[in-house]
Amino acid sequence: MSCSGGRVMVGHYYPYCPEPNKTVGIASHTDPGVLTVLLQDQVGGLQVKHDGKWVNVKPVHGALVINVGDLLQMISNDKYISVEHRVYANPQHEPRVSIAVFCNPSIRDDLYGPLPELVSPEVPALYQQFTYSEFMRKFFTKELDGKSLIKYFSLENK
């Protein structure tokens, strides 16, 4: 798999929100692809779910946040787990800007699934194989919610 052909850059702009407890910046989700590289500014607002609790990701000047996505979870047969994250509505009187680069496979019709090296009679595959086209079709028809892509391709009932 190569990341070079499948990178997408997205810029997010979160304006000041006078009533932040009535809405969200981005609802809780996992990123679908392999890895996401994220640059935050100094405003903050990103949270990740850790041990069932939302934890603030403190913005550090010059630092990049790397999120594991659903594809990496499935290809690694759960060696890496995709991270649930969200952004709260911005209560600061200055806008928040973030830039995300999504690293995805570049070949749509190859089969993806747990890498053969990670699967054995003792450690069975946890996910079915799928093409990236099929994966993205499913992604675009799902709600922006927790782990439904992972559940859809899972061979177990998670």
Q: Any contact of residue 68 with ligand AKG (CB under 6 A)?
A: no
What minimum distance in Å lies between the beta carbon of 69 and ligand AKG? 9
x/- letters, 37..56, toward ligand AKG (CB under 6 A)? -x-x-----x----------
Q: Residue 56: count other Cβ atoms within 10 Å of its Cβ.
A: 11
- Of 68, 87, 126, 150, which one interacts with ligand AKG (CB under 6 A)? 87
- 107 interface partner picked from ligand AKG, Fe ion, none, CB below 5 to 8 A per type: none
> Using CA atoms, how far apart are residues 20 and 104, in angstroms rounded to an integer?
32
Nearest to Fe ion of 31, 70 (CB atom): 31
Q: Any contact of residue 8 with ligand AKG (CB under 6 A)?
A: no
Phi-psi region of 140 (alpha: psi -120 to 50; beta: other; left: phi over 0): alpha
**Chain position whose Cβ is nearest to Fe ion:** 31
Task: State the residues that interact with ligand AKG by CB under 6 A.
Answer: 10, 12, 26, 31, 38, 40, 46, 85, 87, 98, 100
